[in-house]
Amino acid sequence: MISKKMIIASAFVGVLAFGGDQFAMSDADRAMYAEMLENNPADILIGAGEEMLEEFCGGDAGLAKFLEVSEDNLPAYIAGFPRYIDKLGIVAGLDQVLQGLMVENGHKPFKLKSKDMFAMSAYAKSIANGEAINIGINANKHMKEAYALGEEVFTTKRGGRGLSCLSCHSADVIGGVLRTQPLPDLGEVAAGGTWPAYRMTKSSLRTLQRRFQGCMKNALLAVLPMGSKEMVALEVYITNQADGKEIAIPGLKR
């Protein structure tokens, strides 16, 4: 007997497989996107993030000192995030490092989902602009474990619709259209190197983990907390798919 869940999943895949370009961006959206490529609204927010990094973290020099790297090597080091940070004892996202640095400097850390953290972490990631993504998934046991967990999170079906991240981003459905949005190859579009990004539909700057949460909510999956072991592992896995691609922050997303 065909279950209700199977019917829903089949219909979902059908939408992906047979969606056409006519269901993607409208002409008005395309024109707006082209204009924003020249004048990304997130640029001013990243400027504010730079000021916050200076005020709360001692600027680029303070971040480099906390990470125990030279300021000259900071861009390449940032291009390897998420990574294992010994003083934190975890595989951490860059935003979690900024929280740790704020605490060390005697400040109450921004929440990971706050606009201030989005802006400051976007600036910090932009320090690596032009660098190649270099996630060291074999650097140590912690990174190996994080990559394996991230792959598990990406591929495991869960929730009311029996979907996984892979349901929208497998080779079988890439290029299809869901809710007017083409489904990308996350490695090809360098998701790990173009978030934080300005989302046109949300009129705001968002991080990659915040985008993950939006996907999970739409797919009726239990939403993983930002900064959780599972969410950071998912970022490791996704970012590694774009290994070697250039970092360009802020990105611009529909």
Tokens of 189: 């579009």
E strands, the chain, are 83-85, 90-92, 177-178, 181-182, 197-199, 204-206, 251-253
Look at residue 1 in the predicted model and tell me its pLDDT.
35
Q: Give 41's Cβ-side CA count (13 Å radius).
A: 13
Look at residue 179 in the predicted model and tell me its pLDDT.
63
Look at residue 31 in the predicted model and tell me its pLDDT.
64
Domain positions in the chain are: 4-253
Tens of pLDDT along 150-193?
999 999 999 888 999 998 887 777 767 766 677 778 888 899 99
Confidence band of 23 (pLDDT split at 50, 70, 90): very low
Tokens of 28: 């008005």
Tens of pLDDT along 70-128?
999 999 999 999 999 999 999 999 999 999 999 999 999 999 999 999 999 999 999 99
Question: What distance in Å separates the CA atoms of residue 121 and residue 126, rounded to the nearest whole number?
Answer: 8
Regarding predicted confidence, which is higher, 33 or 81? 81
Partners of 242 in the beta sheet? none
Look at residue 151 in the predicted model and tell me its pLDDT.
98
Q: How many DSSP H helices and E strands does the chain contain?
A: 12, 7
Look at residue 44 in the predicted model and tell me its pLDDT.
94
Within 10 angstroms of residue 21's Cβ, the number of other Cβ atoms is 9
Tens of pLDDT along 190-208?
999 999 999 988 889 999 9
Confidence band of 34 (pLDDT split at 50, 70, 90): low
Percentages helix, strand, coil for the chain, rounded to the nearest 5? Answer: 50, 10, 40
Residue pair 112/92 in contact (Cβ under 8 Å)? The answer is no
Nearest to 245 by CA among 170, 196, 183, 187: 187
**Mean pLDDT within 210-234:** 95
Tens of pLDDT along 131-149?
999 999 999 999 999 999 9
Range with lowest mean pLDDT among 6-20, 28-42, 110-124, 219-233: 6-20
Confidence band of 22 (pLDDT split at 50, 70, 90): very low
**Mean pLDDT within 10-17:** 33
Residue pair 238/93 in contact (Cβ under 8 Å)? The answer is no
Over 50: is that where the pLDDT of 237 sits?
A: yes
Look at residue 184 in the predicted model and tell me its pLDDT.
78
Give DSSP secondary structure letters for 178-243: ETTEEPP-TTTTTHHHH-SEEETTTTEEE-HHHHHHHHHHHTTPPPPPTTSHHHHHHHHHHHHHTT
Question: What distance in Å separates the CA atoms of residue 5 and residue 222, rounded to the nearest whole number?
Answer: 17
Non-local (6+) Cβ contacts of 173 within 8 A are 13, 16, 17, 167, 183
Look at residue 244 in the predicted model and tell me its pLDDT.
96
User: For the structural domain made of 4-253, what CATH number should be given?
Assistant: 1.10.760.10
**Mean pLDDT within 214-221:** 90
Tokens of 134: 């270099």
Look at residue 227 in the predicted model and tell me its pLDDT.
98
What is the DSSP secondary structure assignment for residue 22, as one 8-state letter? G
